Amino acid sequence: MKEYLTLAEIQEDLREGGLTCVQLVDHYLQNIESNKHLNAFVEVYADEAKKAALALDQKMASGSSGRLAGLVVGLKDVLSHKGHGLQAGSQILRTYQAPFNATAVQRLLDEDAIVIGRQNCDEFAMGSSNENSSFGPVLNAADTTKVPGGSSGGSAVAVQAGLCHASLGSDTGGSVRQPAAFCGVIGVKPSYGRVSRYGLIAYASSFDCIGPITKSVDDAALILEIMAGADEYDSTVSEKEVPAYSKSTEWNGKAKIGYIRESIESEAISSEIRQQTRETLNRLRAEGHEVTPVEIPLLDSLLPTYYILTTAEASSNLSRFDGVRYGYRSPESVDLESMYKKTRTEGFGEEVRRRILLGTFVLSANYYDAYYTKAQRVRRLVREETNRFFEQFDFLISPVSPTTAFTIGEKTEDPLQMYLADIFTVQANVVGNPAISIPNGEDKDGMPIGIQIMAPYFSEEKMLAFAKYLTGLNKKVAVEYNTNE
C-alpha cells in the first residue's frame, strides 16, 4: 500500500482509487503484527476495526460518511473509549473498562474515524521516555535501542511506523510534542481550554491537554478542529467558536519570531540540535521574517514550577485509586488501612509513587506556602512574562528537547536528568498556550530532531498555518553537519 501523508490523499483514493476502508484496516493490522516488538499497542481491536471498516465502506458508497472517514486512529491508554480497557499504563487499573467515551474520542467517532487500539504510555502519563509503563518500554522505530520519548511514546511510534494513520495523545508538560520530535512526526498541544478533558485520566488537571500526533499539519488541523470546542461535561473548555483550522493552513506575510538565545548557544543542548535550529532560524530570516534572540528570565524557574504544581495536582487526582473504587485491590490486605497501603504500593509504579509523595509533601501544612503557593505565584509571573512576549512577537521558536532520542535505560537511574529533558516543552503548559512540534531534520545517526513553535493563547489557526509553511521550507533543504563545532 502506498504511504499516505494526509487523510485527504486517503479519502481521494477511497473515492476514486479503488481503495477500501477494509484494505486500510488490514494494512495497519499487518503492520502492527510485524512490528509487535516496538510494543506500541497495549491492545488491538482487530475484529472491531474490521467490522467498522466494512460498515464504513457501505456508508461511503451511499455518500453519507463523516469528515474523518478513512482515518484509522490509535488512542493513548489514558482516553476513555467505551467498553474498552483503560489503564493509563498502570497495574492499579488492571481490569478497568471505560464506561463512556471521552468527548474527544466521541467527536472522532461521530465523524467516522476507526479506532484500531489503545497505545502504550508512561504510567499516568508521567515520564519522558515511555520507560515508566507497566507494559514495558516502547521502542523507537528509527533505532530500537532508543526511547520513543514520552509519555505518549506508543502513540508517536504508531504513527512513525505506520501502525495507524494518526494518534491521540495527552500533553501535560510535553508528552505529545516530545515523543513526536523523537519519532519524526508532528505533535500539537492545543491551548488549555480548547479541547474537553472529559474522559481523559487526569494527571495534573490545570495542565492536561489532549492533542493529535500525525504525519502532516493538515491532519493535525482537521483532527483538532473536530475535537475542539465547548463541552457540557468540562466547564474549563472555552465557549469560543472553533475556527476552521483545516481550511486556513495557508501562511501569508512576515512573522515576528523570538527565539531563546540559550537554545542555540547553551552547551547543555546537543550541538546538532543547536545547529539545526540555527539553520532553520537563518532560513526564516532569509525569507524575510524578523528573527530576534530573546531572554526568558524565568527560564530556570519553569521546571521547578512545573514539577511542584503537577505533582501536587497528581497527588490529589490519584487519591481516588485506593482499592475501593477502581481496578486492582491487594489480596494481602487485612483491614482498611492495609488495603489502601498495599493496593497503592503494589498497584503504582516507582515514578508514580515518587510523584505522589512529592506532591503530598508540597501540599502538606508546613510546606504549602513555601512550595505550592510560591509555585502558583511563579506560574502567574511566567504567564505575565509570556503574555508580554506575545505582545511583541507572533511565535516563540525553540528546540523541542535538548537531545534526540536517548538510549533505553540511559536516564532511568536519574529522575532529575529525565526532568531536564522537558525544559522547552513545559512553558506552554505552565501558561496554557498552544505549541506544535514539527520535524527539523535528523542528527548524524539518523535520529529525528524536532522544532517547537509556540503561539499566543488560542492562536492555533496561525500557529498551524505557520507550522505548515515551515514544514515546506524545511523540506527544501538538508543540512550538512559541521562536526567541528
- Annotated catalytic residues are 76, 151, 175
Within 330-485, residue ranges assigned H as helices are 336-347, 350-363, 374-392, 415-420, 426-431, 460-475
131 binds ligand GLN (CB under 6 A): no
Length of the chain: 485
The residue (of 127 and 448) whose beta carbon lies closer to ligand GLN is 127
Collapsing DSSP to helix, strand or coil, 284 comes out as helix
**H or E segment and range at residue 41:** strand 41-44
**Binding range to ligand GLN, per CB under 6 A, among 134-142, 169-177, 270-278, 382-390:** 169-177
| Measured distance CA(44)–CA(117) in Å, rounded | 4
375 binds ligand GLN (CB under 6 A): no
125 binds ligand GLN (CB under 6 A): yes
> Least Å distance between CB 435 and ligand GLN?
12
> Least Å distance between CB 174 and ligand GLN?
5
> Least Å distance between CB 132 and ligand GLN?
8
Handedness of CA 391, 395, 396, 400 (dihedral sign): positive
> Least Å distance between CB 209 and ligand GLN?
9
| Measured distance CA(96)–CA(86) in Å, rounded | 6
Binding residue (CB under 6 A) for ligand GLN from 148, 153, 154, 174? 174
* Amino acid code (one letter) for 428: A
Binding residue (CB under 6 A) for ligand GLN from 160, 175, 330, 401? 175
**Binding range to ligand GLN, per CB under 6 A, among 58-66, 122-130, 251-259, 368-376:** 122-130
Q: Which of 50, 111, 108 is CA-nearest to residue 82?
A: 108
179 binds ligand GLN (CB under 6 A): no
Within 79-174, residue ranges assigned H as helices are 103-110, 153-160
**Binding range to ligand GLN, per CB under 6 A, among 54-62, 123-131, 385-393, 443-451:** 123-131
Collapsing DSSP to helix, strand or coil, 293 comes out as strand
Q: Which of 448, 403, 408 is CA-nearest to residue 423?
A: 403
**H or E segment and range at residue 32:** helix 21-34
203 binds ligand GLN (CB under 6 A): yes
Q: Which residues pair with 136 in a beta bridge?
A: none
In the numeric block, which cell numbers belong to residue 424? 522547552
In the region spanning residues 290 to 329, those forming contacts with ligand GLN, defined by CB under 6 A, are: 310
| Measured distance CA(282)–CA(442) in Å, rounded | 17
Binding residue (CB under 6 A) for ligand GLN from 11, 80, 151, 437? 151
The residue (of 174 and 323) whose beta carbon lies closer to ligand GLN is 174
Binding residue (CB under 6 A) for ligand GLN from 127, 323, 439, 441? 127
**H or E segment and range at residue 454:** strand 448-454
Binding residue (CB under 6 A) for ligand GLN from 65, 119, 128, 167? 128
Bond from prior residue into 151 cis (ω within 30 degrees of 0): yes
The residue (of 25 and 125) whose beta carbon lies closer to ligand GLN is 125
172 binds ligand GLN (CB under 6 A): yes
Tell me the site size for ligand GLN, rule CB under 6 A. 14
Torsion of CA 175, 178, 184, 186, to 10 degrees: 60
272 binds ligand GLN (CB under 6 A): no
Count of Cβ atoms closer than 10 Å to residue 61 Cβ: 10
173 binds ligand GLN (CB under 6 A): yes
The residue (of 203 and 321) whose beta carbon lies closer to ligand GLN is 203
140 binds ligand GLN (CB under 6 A): no
| Binding stretches for ligand GLN (CB under 6 A) | 125-128, 151, 170-175, 203, 310, 422
